[in-house]
Amino acid sequence: MVGRGLRGWYGGVLALAASCACAQTPSLRLSELTLEELGNIEVTSVSRRAERLSDAPASVFVITAEDIRRSGATSLPEALRLAPNLQVARLSAAFHAVTSRGFNSNTANKLLVLIDGRSVYTPLFGGVFWDAQQLPLQDVERIEVISGPGGTLWGVNAVNGVINVITRPATQTRGFELAAGAGNREHGLSLRQGLDLGGDADRPLRLWARHVRYERTHTAAGESAGDAGHVEQIGARTDWDSGLSRAMLQAQAYLGQREAPIPGAVEIPGAPIQVGSTRFSGGHVLARWERQLGHNQSLTVQGYYDRTERRLGFRDTLDTLDLQLQHALQAGARHAVVWGAELRQDTDNFTGPDLVMRPARLRQVSYSLFAQDEITLREDLRLTLGARAERNAYTGVEYLPSARLAWHPAPSQLVWGALSRTVRGPTRLDRDVFNPGRPPSAQAPGGILPVSGNPDFLSEVARVAELGWRGQPGPGISASATVYQAQYERLRSLQLSGSELVFANGLDGRIRGVELWGSWQLRPNWRLHGGFNRTWQDLHASPGYADAGNVSFAEGSTPARQWMLRSQLDLPRRTEFDLTLRGVSALADPAVPAYVALDLRLGWRPRPGLEWSLAVQNALGGGHGEFGQLRTRSEIGRSVFLQLVLQHDAL
């Protein structure tokens, strides 16, 4: 009854919106932005200053707003599937595991995620609760995805990659927008209104609200996975520019709930099985001020306050206060220097009847100082040297140096190499967790051993070497290739100590890989994209530690191969047809078969400012698992989503 009521309500919204007259809204066709122009897109995540994508000496892939719109994705994790240098696995209706270059899990902890410069990792386990990272995808300007270490500029936890989500300034979202969609797996409604605050300066204000409801998925046995949920959000952003100075202020609040996973699918390693529902909420306020100082200098100051709360048997609340300063300058003709500092305070309060943290309430202060110098050795050769010193509450000061060399053998070619040392700092899960265990039961005939954190847990260390090429080998063709090797020490493991399991630094090893992607403008109205990555893993127990299954899980949770083909075709009468075919090799532990998925999208713009689209995900039917044990994992089957986007420009 609830589902039919929602579908009826959304249907009414769609019918009402379709009857509205709309003002003209700019839109792109494939022929209006060439691959050469895409190579000139400015990115900021590689060097913390604007530079052309074609000049960035890193394995970086940019997901544009147009890519997101034409993918049919309805959530941030699903949009991240467009990046061939990421591994994305859907665990349930709204919960994902996302990583780069290995070590995927529902608590993946080696990928730093930023949204408008705000880090969204949790110090609980060092990763991201993806179900809480919701935002209107129509407001995303681009997503910069770096595979490989970024610790020198972004700090501890940027071990295997950095994701930087950048939303549009309020100046680009004037007027009204409604995005409403309904399907067999999901319903969503997003409203946005752009206002003008008036005054001498141009100060627009963007207000938005969003509601999403997810339907339950099912297991391979046809049983309900018990993972239906919903999320409600509101947000605001204003930007203003007075010539030499620019400023931005944004705020957001959200509230969500989803049914807990069925028995056996836990969210935190070592946590007891929970039945009930997961409730999560939070919000943040972020401000940024930038000033051009003259003589090729700029100063940026940023601060934010963030609060999150999550309940699933336990209750965890986190308050974060973060302050950052950055100064960029041109020191002579050969040196482009950027340096900065960051101060962060996390106050975490964790309580639960079974799973506990010792102590329950912990305040941690971290601070860091970084500097990087890009040296022009000659017109076609640049050397970038950088280092960061970061102090955390557990292990003291960590040092994160890097060196990058970029060579342009031709104007449209870039060859680059990099050497980096980075670390993943300890978290509350590593140090403070305690689960007293459980006696034998039907779900666990042998019982559950107590699990304890280790007060002597050290930082994980990675030493990474990379070699890459990016260029345009022919008219209408762009490509990128990267090979890398990462040597890891002191990786996290679970070790038996007496009658309990204890977290330890019990794994070492090496991961090597290849990342390839490219685009081909086959015709003015037809563009093809392709991507492939291959990973080789060789992990082993550290001297003095027993394996106890740690190597099997660490290696088995990442696909050895992954490939993707995308087609974007502009048809007559403002119609678009998009196709994505992707394949993922099998996982060994937990065992998940290989799968191939086909996603389709048909879009139609009958008049400016009005767009209909029909997206079909997993069109090959059947269903496939992507992560987790066979008995409990969701089978991701065919989904259909009809969406209307209605825009009316401000007069």
Q: Extract the residue ranges of the chain whose pLDDT is less than 50.
A: 1-26, 262-268, 270-275, 650-651
One DSSP character per residue, 508-555 reads EEEEEEEEEEEEEEEETTEEEEEEEEEEEEEEEEPTT---TTHHHHHH
Pairing label, strands 111-115, 161-167? parallel
CB 587 within 8 A of CB 556: yes
- What span, in angstroms and rounded, lies between the C-alpha atoms of 236 and 206? 5
pLDDT (0 to 100) of residue 295: 80
Q: Tokens at residue 268, please?
A: 């935190």
d(CA 641, CA 112): 30
pLDDT of residue 390: 96
- Rounded CA gap, 461 and 423, in Å? 4
**Per-residue pLDDT, 276:** 63
Per-residue pLDDT, 553: 83
Spell out the domain ranges in the chain.
2-648
Amino acid occupying residue 254? Y
Q: How far apart, in whole angstroms, are the C-alpha atoms of residue 205 and residue 196?
A: 6
Handedness of CA 144, 147, 150, 155 (dihedral sign): positive
| pLDDT at residue 33 in the model | 63
Q: How far apart are CA 602 and CA 71, in angstroms?
A: 10
- pLDDT at residue number 29: 62
The predicted structure's pLDDT at residue 156? 83
Residues 6+ apart with CB under 8 A from 502: 451, 452, 453, 454, 494, 495, 496
Task: Specify whether the CB–CB gap between 226 and 258 falls below 8 A.
Answer: no
Question: Can you give the pTM of this predicted structure?
Answer: 0.92
CATH placement of domain 2-648:
2.40.170.20
